[in-house]
Structure 1
Amino acid sequence: MTPEPSDSDSDQLDFWSFVDHAIARTARELPGIDPLAMRLVLTLHRAANMLVYDLESTVHRPRGWSWPGFRVLFVIWLTGPLEAKQVAELSGMSRAAVSALVATLGRDGLVVKERSPLDGRAVHLSLTEQGHEAITRAFRAHNAREQEWAGTLSEDERETLIALLQKMTAGSVRFGVRHRS
């Protein structure tokens, strides 16, 4: 750990020195906090944000898609035609966000919406042929970038990290975690 910066040094902080600073200051002002839990969550959040930003900026934005747009296409590609509310649930997004994205993806010729034959209120989403070609091309590039990220860890480390993240998410039911569904 680096020494805590003074107020005059705060403009010299980078993300990691800020984490050290935040933990030291929080522990000083709020005795009894768990600094290791704080470091874990800050680090996990930073890693997830870096990964998503990298994938979005290197793979999806050049195709005219946002990260949420990719997630909608990815879900529809892998499930086949699906109700919009299920796309929202599987992509971890709100129904309103999916609806707005589908309007754009439809305009771009990638997704079509049709009324459900069983429930006229429900909307089924499916990929067009152009959408299928676009998502499969994009996913090849996406997975190549995933391999670069994952390649910084050994296979054993990857499996351990996956197991730990699964344990962390599965254990969240104990304290009523909120999530999109």
Structure 2
Amino acid sequence: MAKADEKRDEAARSEVLGQLMTVGRAHSAVTVMFHSAVAAQQGLNATEEKTLDLLQRHGPLTAKELAELTGLAPASVTGLLDRLEDKGFVHRAKHPTDKRRVLVELDQDKLAELAVFFEDWARDIVEACEEFSTDELRTVIRFLSVMSERQHAAAARLTG
């Protein structure tokens, strides 16, 4: 009987993993579409918009640090920063302790123009979370954290 239970458990797990892959792909697609739509409102592309998010969360960064966080090649980051600077979202400043390095800083006023696009979405998130217990939300946080680390590593492998 134990073998039969094991086979049922394996089949159930396989089915759930398949569902997770399907739902994950759908979630990924709508996330990209949402961020593309937000970015387009300000004349940005999704990569530019997500780079602004990184700068907002981490504070001023060097181009090298941005390359590491995004998984983009250094030359790509230079072009990305040039575009963001031309659009007024960032500026380059001397590093406070190492004059050979340059920090990329956000223009907070310009960034505030993007915030309005996320206000409705933030309310939707809070409302959706009402359906879940605190422990369930902790599990979701743990899962998303692990998956973010894995996806970051996968992106790094792709960009070498």
TM-score (norm 2): 0.66
Count, aligned residues:
141
The equivalent of 1:180 in structure 2 is 156
Q: How far apart, in 2, do the equivalents of 1:139 and 1:70 lie?
A: 11
* Alpha-carbon spacing, 1:107–1:48, altered in 2? closer, same or farther (3 Å): same
The offset of 1:112, in angstroms, is 1.7
Structure 1 counterpart of 2:112, one-letter code = T
Unaligned runs of 5+ in 2: 1-13
Q: Is the 8 A contact 2:66 2:77 kept in 1?
A: yes
- 2:121 corresponds to: 145
Q: Supply the RMSD in Å over aligned alpha carbons.
A: 3.4
Q: Which residue of 1 aligns with 2:146?
A: 170
Letter in 1 for 2:34: D
- For residues 99-114 of structure 1, the aligned pairs below 5 Å read 99-114=78-93
Q: 2:132 aligns with which of 146, 156, 160?
A: 156
Q: For 1:55 and 1:153, locate their aligned partners in 2 and report how far apart those are by CA, in whole Å.
A: 21
Report the counterpart of residue 5 of structure 2 in structure 1: none
* CA displacement, residues 117-155 of structure 1 (integer Å, 9 cap, x when unaligned): 6262x432112xxx3112123123224224325534425
* Higher helix fraction (1 or 2): 2
What does 1:1-181 align with in structure 2 at a 5 Å threshold? 34-57=14-37, 59-90=38-69, 92-94=70-72, 95-114=74-93, 116=95, 118=98, 120=100, 122-127=101-106, 131-149=107-125, 151-154=127-130, 156=132, 160-161=136-137, 163-167=139-143, 169-170=145-146, 178-180=154-156
Distance (whole Å) between structure 1 residues aligned to residue 116 and residue 90 of structure 2: 19
Greater mean alpha carbon deviation, residues 154-163 or residues 97-106 = 154-163
Distance in 2 between residues matched to 1:48 and 1:118, nearest whole Å: 39
Secondary structure in structure 1 of the residue aligned to 2:29: helix
Deviation of 1:102 (Å): 0.7
Tell me which amino acid in the other structure corresponds to 1:134: K
Aligned to 1:25: none
Residue deviations 1:41-81 (CA, integer Å, cap 9, x gap): 12112112212312321x22111112211122222234332
Distance 1:139 1:158, change over 3 A: farther
Task: Give the counterpart letter for 2:83 in structure 1.
Answer: T
Moved more, 77-86 or 41-50: 77-86
Report how far residue 179 of structure 1 moved.
4.3
Q: Which amino acid aligns with 1:55?
A: H
